[in-house]
């Protein structure tokens, strides 16, 4: 068992899972990432325009789910969660490829984020090695 400590939280106009898009290209808005003061030194060298991989902890997820129908579609077959991007899964880590659009101290604004307001931030990494996924 390992302890994941949030390094910040998402500030977004999306306030609940039901209204949030499932994928970033489905109308996800810009959002602020508000980092905790303890990690300020780690934010050095972030740059506007950079593509980054944002890791969140999807805290409203049901961690007991092992199979699901992708996109909640009753016509699709029951699928093992590790072959889906469902937020309901044993360790609900969210992976989001976003672009930095503004930086204001401990706050970093990013494009197209489908995570809801209050989602804990777990990590942030630069994109390397070719064209990135989300």
Alpha-carbon Rg for the chain, nearest whole angstrom, is: 15
CB of 15 to a second copy, least distance (A): 20
Of 34 and 50, the one with the shorter C-beta distance to a second copy is 50
**Positions in the binding site for a second copy (CB under 8 A):** 1-7, 23, 25, 39-46, 50, 52-53, 55, 57, 59, 66-67, 79-85, 89-91, 93, 95, 97, 120, 122-134
Residue 99 CB neighbour total at 10 angstroms: 15
CB 10 within 8 A of CB 113: yes
CB of 99 to a second copy, least distance (A): 14
- Going by C-alpha positions, the residue among 38, 33, 27 that lies closest to residue 5 is 38
DSSP string for residues in 24-47: TTTTPPPEEEEE-GGGGGGGTT--
CB of 16 to a second copy, least distance (A): 20
Of 34 and 53, the one with the shorter C-beta distance to a second copy is 53
């Amino acid at each position: 068992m390992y302890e994941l400590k949030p390094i910040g939280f998402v500030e977004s106009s999306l306030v609940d899972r039901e209204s949030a898009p499932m994928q970033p290209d489905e109308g996800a808005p810009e959002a602020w990432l508000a980092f905790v003061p303890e990690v300020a030194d780690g934010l050095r060298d972030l740059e506007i325009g950079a593509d980054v991989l944002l890791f969140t902890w999807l805290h409203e997820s049901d961690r007991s789910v092992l199979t699901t129908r992708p996109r909640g579609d009753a016509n699709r077959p029951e699928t093992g969660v590790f072959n889906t991007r469902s937020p309901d899964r044993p360790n609900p880590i969210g992976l989001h490829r976003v672009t930095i659009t503004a930086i204001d101290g401990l706050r970093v604004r990013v494009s197209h984020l489908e995570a809801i307001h209050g989602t804990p931030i777990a990590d942030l990494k630069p994109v390397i090695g070719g064209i990135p996924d989300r």
